[in-house]
Chains A and B, each alone.
Chain A
Amino acid sequence: MQFVQMLLVLAAAPLLTGYVRKVKAHILRRQGPPLLQPYRDLLRLLKKDVVLAESASWFFRAAPYLVFAATWVAAALVPTFATGLIFSHAADVIAIVALLGSARFVLALAGLDVGTSFGGIGSSREMMIASLAEPAMLMVVFTLSLLAGSTQLSFIAAALQAPEVGLRVSLAMALVALIMVALAENARIPVDNPATHLELTMVHEAMILEYSGRHLALIELASQVKLVLYISIIACVFLPWGIAIAGAGVAAYLAGIALYAVKLAAAGLALGVFETAIAKMRVFRVSDFLGAALMLGLLATLLRFVSAQIG
């Protein structure tokens, strides 16, 4: 089941990206690229030569594999259509957040490796965003763990499905904070524009400016998998209906996969509409945005600490 999940996540990631692009294009009354275009882009990049800058080191060459591996492993640990993954006891939500942090660490260093100013812009802005987004994410994790009594995602999902949880203020705040963090971490508008070609507006794109060929393909795939990961976390925690319990049988799994596809599609639609509706913020407004997410997370955790009933 674990391996099915890993392959599913890997296969679905480019499709989701294509779908989001299609939604954004349709809102702007364009046709947009075909749904399967990201797959074609990846295959094309994989076959091309890598053009490496003269000042790049072995770290630059190894980084895409490490980034991809860390992101893929983290995505493999989030229950998408079934709980009870074999390796779910190896890493809980905190470890998943930290694995994504490792991927970001490696990517930021790779941005500095070639020694150009654009890499520096990307890395320094990315680390500023991360310095606020990661604590906000951890506060959300704390809120969820305090509600569920565990930091394992499968247990959290099971606990939040129980009827006595109900609608809680801290859950609402955690959801808002999580969405804000997910937008920042996946380099989406309003924090960063994934489709920009102006270097001064780039954060993620500037870090990977010097990459080409199969390296670029791996990094693109890793960021697509990261989007699927965040949507899976939101779906698993806040929309847990349909996740099959371990050992429930093939029919339950298939239903789980179908519902998961519906959740991904709904999230992609919401993301596309949201990205088209608002504009990107100035870089130094992002710190206010993420500071608000951190405050919301802190408030939600505080409410959980203060009383079991309130919040």
Chain B
Amino acid sequence: MALRLLLGCIAALLAMGVLAVAGARERRTSTVVYALALLATALALLLALGVLLAGAPALRLTLPIGVPWLGAHLRLDALSAFFLVVINLGGAMASLYGLGYGAHEEAPARVLPFFLAFLAGMNLVLLADDAFTFLFSWEFMSLASWALVMAHHRRSGNAGAGYLYLLMASFGTLALILAFGLLAGPAGGYEFAAMRAAEPSALMGTAVLALALLGAGSKAGIVPLHAWLPLAHPAAPSHVSALMSGVMTKVAVYGFVRLVFDLVGAPLWWWGAIVAFIGGVTAVLGVLHALMEHDLKRLLAYHTVENIGIIFIGLGLAAAFAANHMQAAAALALTAALFHVFNHSVFKSLLFFGAGAVLGATGERDMERLGGLIHRMPRTAFAFLVGSAAISALPPFNGFVSEWLTFQAILLSPALPQWLLKFLVPAIGAALALSAALAAACFVKAFGVTFLGRPRSDVARRAQETDRFSLGAMFVLAALCLVAGALPGYFIDALGPVAQALVGVHLPAQRGVDWLTIVPIARSRSSYNGLLVLLFVALSAFLAAEAIHRFASKRLRRAPAWDCGFPDASPMTQYTAGSFSQPIRRVFGSVLFRARERVHMAPPGAAQPSQLHVDLRDLLWETLYLPPARFVAALARFFNRAQFLTIRAYLTLVFGALVALLMVLAVWQ
């Protein structure tokens, strides 16, 4: 029943999409559409949550549409239900945000229908139970999001971003088609049930893993397939950026998990090594790229890459544990990865909403022209601060809990017998710790340069607070960050059925543990109580404030900034994003990005300013993307000559083809 209702919600979204095309010209259409989308996604969220918490066996449905001899198989099991919760939460919040943001959308006809189609497509991917439905919904989702990326196609850079996105999406879908083809085998059993029953050989399993990494991984954004992400995600409107970064990447993770853990079945230990290694490299490279950026949305997009890396580290560890029959540890690693999926969608959406609010208020995405927004947009600043603290894995927020669980999984790894894993896992642990510390540095930069300090331009000086719907969406997500950080036990219990379905066991029930502590393995080993930490810190701060105000002094007066006695009225003397990241750029960037600084000093007495240039090169782009692009361009130029031949030349070509085919026919017999 729940499955039919979910399908009803999806159908409603699609229908609204069609209607929105018709009525897009009017002012109030966007409000109505977003409100209805909010209702539909909220309903889907509640349904999925109900199914997940009830722990019932999988629901199935077969519709007679689609491919004639196959139909459309749909299935709602624990894994789908969890990801449906994540996606519809993001969708609902984006719709709520859109209620306010959509009012100043300049091309609503290009955004509204595709927004709904995008939501519908994502939901459908999660429900698909056969290869055709899955691939169809996957492509539908990609095309809808491509249309959204191209919504403002006249802005510079957006067209190129859309083109690259389309290329990478097609490449990913091709990989997935091949993967499903391999799994279906010569018998052609395209239903997932048939694929689950079949036992693939080790070679085929490895091929499917590689194709899944290429296909699902490129949409998730693992290195080196991430290049489209920082270009495409910022190009879309802000609520769509939030959906793409926070939610669509999770659909890709779902695809990967479904293919590798569910359809292929028993993973091999070195698959885990490969996936975890890719995750580690992705995490570190993602955050280092983010540190070099000063475009707010692009910084957030690179951070998505980093967090996807963290999720893949957890998935790789889970595969390695499962291959060695250490089911409890596999459940821990898997729960850590999936909890991070939820957490990331929450705080990344929150951060993109904040960036969208800033963009709407000032028209600027470049941090170097912002500053001092905490005075003009205090509520947005507060929500963004909560999101920054959450993504930097600081207690008592939720980012810390999933990172803590991943560390606990790493600490269980010495029991793995394979030597390669024994050397790889500590290195991955170090990479994870490094990326967490760098993420904190990056968000000090992002929040500090954008919201704190003094305004660096007129638009920053005149910014206004955003509307209440956007603020509402941001505050709901911020509250969720705090709740998931303080009461993680409930979330871990909710993930129990998913872990049970994929690796056979689930973590010990957290509900009964006293004081709401979470104990993932055993009490003698480690435990964490987010609520107590939060209360402890809040109480200490409050006590300190009260004691000091009562017994010492409460007086305060304002004066110009001290600045060591040399106050400078110009806000240009404060640190910018580039100067803030300069120490880290020198330490890490001089090798990885060939970062070089060139200084042109104006001669003494001259009136023009000195200049500092920072050169950064993306070596992955230069070695992996540009050569094939140049090769294809050269090939195309070569074959382009065929456009300008004479009539006699075309006739010769036709004649040559005919003769060649006849020769083949002659030899074949």
Contacts and interface: CB of A to CB of B under 8 A. Distances in A.
Are A and B in direct contact (Cβ within 8 Å)?
yes
Interface stretch (B63-71, B197-205, B439-447): B439-447
A213 B393 CA distance: 31
Interface string B385-423: 100010011110000100010011011011000000011
Given A49-B553, A73-B540, A152-B526, A118 B563 contact: yes
Contacts of A57: 374-375, 452
A150 B526 contact: yes
Interface in B546-570: 548, 552-553, 555-564, 567-568
Contact of B564 (A69, A118, A150): A118
B434 interface: yes
Given A69-B544, A152-B526, A283-B583, A105 B414 contact: no
B426 A142 contact: yes
A121 B561 CA distance: 16
A145 B441 contact: no
Contacts of B545: 65
Nearest to A108: B444
A203 to B, nearest CB: 10
The interface residues of chain B, by DSSP majority, are classed as: helix
A166 to B, nearest CB: 19
Interface stretch (A16-24, A84-92, A228-236, A268-276): A84-92
Q: Name the residue among B378, B426, B515, B571 with the largest chain A CB count within 10 angstroms.
A: B426
Interface in A121-156: 121, 123-125, 127-128, 130-135, 138-139, 142, 145-146, 149-152, 155
A137 to B, nearest CB: 8
Interface string A40-75: 000000111111111111110000011011101100
A265 to B, nearest CB: 27
Given A50-B555, A73-B536, A94 B436 contact: no
Contacts of B568: 116-117
B408 A151 contact: yes
Interface string B591-633: 0000000000000000000000000000000000000000000
B452 A109 contact: yes
A161 interface: no
Interface stretch (B314-322, B574-582, B652-660): B574-582
Contact of A51 (B437, B438, B527, B557): B557
Nearest to B516: A90
Nearest to A197: B564
A209 interface: yes
A54 B393 contact: no
B650 to A, nearest CB: 63
The interface residues of chain A, by DSSP majority, are classed as: helix
Contact of B527 (A89, A128, A139, A284): A89
Contacts of A72: 540, 544
A102 interface: yes
Contacts of A49: 553, 555-557
B524 A116 contact: no
Contacts of A125: 583
Interface in B508-556: 515, 517, 523-529, 532-533, 536-538, 540-541, 544-545, 548, 552-553, 555-556
24 contacts: A47-B552, A49-B557, A50-B556, A51-B562, A52-B559, A65-B541, A69-B537, A73-B536, A92-B528, A95-B533, A98-B394, A98-B400, A99-B537, A112-B452, A120-B575, A128-B583, A138-B430, A138-B433, A139-B430, A142-B426, A152-B527, A210-B563, A297-B430, A298-B427
